[in-house]
Amino acid sequence: MEDCVIDIKNISKVFNPGENEVRALNDVSLKIYKGEFVSLMGSSGSGKSTLLNILGCLDQPTSGTYLLDGQEVSGISKSEISLIRNRKFGFVFQSYNLLPKTSALENVELPLLYNSQYSIKARREKAEEALVSVGLKDRIFHKTNELSGGQQQRVAIARALVNEPKVIFADEPTGNLDSKTSYQVMELFQNLNEKGILIVMVSHEPDIVEMSKRKIILHDGKIIEDIEILNPKNAHELFVAADSK
């Protein structure tokens, strides 16, 4: 199908091959289409993070094939993979992973540093634009340690979307946030998804997952459930409701 962005077949990932081998993913096949908002769920050790890392090309599967936009990804060179991550993907992590003692702007500029098409000026404009879009217009020059957790995660999201990615991978993006701030972050994700960005998120919070469009549950390295969420909750409404309390 033309709209299929991510297509993995029979993916396995084995850590410590040998006696103490850990089979983190066991023969997983999965297709993700354009415009989807996918949540990966599962208990600790179920393989959800490993799957996210493989989908995000941060890790290579032990066996199986991965077609990204119809292109084979497994087995291509490290520098080509770097290029894919830089041009097509955005990453959001649970612990934000911002550079310490550095301004929000510089953090957001980071992915553009590795794209020589951008001049210093263009880099700055893009980064400012991204920060404005996550509602941090007045925090552009603040150092990251001067920002709250929610603000830091929004800087991280701005960093993820600054290079206009096709897919944003989020690993427990609300894991360190209270529920109200979580709704804010999820609202951002929903808005980005509206604009056509594919989002793949790992989360173990059921209420957060209810805001995505598709729920995939893993257990012992296998997909045990893959269901569409028919009426995703609206993060903005939840935020307003929480705010009025």
Partner 1 sequence: MKVSDLLLSALRSINRNRSRSLLTMLGIIIGVASVIGMLALGNGATQSIKGELGKLGTNLIMVMPGADQQRGVSTDLANVEILKESDVKAILNLSPSVTYISPVVSTKSQAVFGSNNSRPNVTGGYRDYFFINNYEIKYGQLFDERTGKSLQKVCVIGKTVAEDLFENEKDAVGKIIRLDKIPFRIIGVLEEKGQTMGMDGDNIIIAPFRTVQKRLLGLTYLHQIHAATENEDEVDAAVAEIDDVMTNYLKKVSGGEPQFRIATQKEMLDVMGTVLGLLTLLLAAIAGISLLVGGIGIMNIMLVTVTERTREIGLRLAVGAPSNVILLQFLIESVVISLIGGIIGIMLGYTLASIGGSLMDMTAEVTPSSVLMAFGFSFLVGVLFGFFPARKAARLNPIQALRHE
Rounded to a whole number of angstroms, the minimum distance from the CB of residue 79 to partner 1 is 5
* Structural contact between residues 235 and 186, judged by C-beta atoms closer than 8 angstroms: yes
DSSP strands (E only) in the chain: 4-15, 22-33, 37-42, 63-68, 71-72, 89-92, 167-171, 198-202, 214-219, 222-228
Which residue lies nearer to partner 1 by CB, 101 or 245?
101
Rounded to a whole number of angstroms, the minimum distance from the CB of residue 9 to partner 1 is 22
Rounded to 10 degrees, what is the CA torsion of 151, 152, 155, 157?
-100
Rounded to a whole number of angstroms, the minimum distance from the CB of residue 233 to partner 1 is 29
Interacting residue with partner 1 among 59, 205, 207, 210 (CB under 8 A):
59
Q: Does 245 participate in binding partner 1 (rule CB under 8 A)?
A: no
Q: In the range 101-120, which residues lie near partner 1 by CB under 8 A?
A: 101, 110-111, 113-116
Determine the size of the site formed for partner 1 (CB under 8 A).
25
Interacting residue with partner 1 among 48, 159, 214, 215 (CB under 8 A):
159
As a whole number of angstroms, the distance between CA 239 and CA 245 comes to 10
Rounded to a whole number of angstroms, the minimum distance from the CB of residue 67 to partner 1 is 20
Q: Does 122 participate in binding partner 1 (rule CB under 8 A)?
A: no
As a whole number of angstroms, the distance between CA 180 and CA 149 comes to 12
Binding mask of the shown chain, residues 65 to 94, with x at each position contacting partner 1 by CB under 8 A? -------------xx--xxxxxx-x-x-x-
Residue 150 corresponds to which amino acid? Answer: G
Binding mask of the shown chain, residues 30 to 49, with x at each position contacting partner 1 by CB under 8 A? --------------------
Burial of 124 (0-12, 13-18, 19+ CB in 10 A): middle
Which residue lies nearer to partner 1 by CB, 50 or 212?
50
Give, to the nearest 10 degrees, the angle between helix 235-244 and helix 179-194.
Answer: 150
Which residue lies nearer to partner 1 by CB, 15 or 237?
15
Select from 56, 62, 100 the least CA-distant residue to 81: 56
Rounded to a whole number of angstroms, the minimum distance from the CB of residue 18 to partner 1 is 19
Q: Does 58 participate in binding partner 1 (rule CB under 8 A)?
A: yes
Per the DSSP assignment, residues forming a β-bridge with 195 are: none
DSSP 43: S
Question: What six digits make up the tokens of 223?
Answer: 């997909």
Residues that bind partner 1 (CB under 8 A): 53, 56, 58-59, 78-79, 82-87, 89, 91, 93, 97, 99, 101, 110-111, 113-116, 159
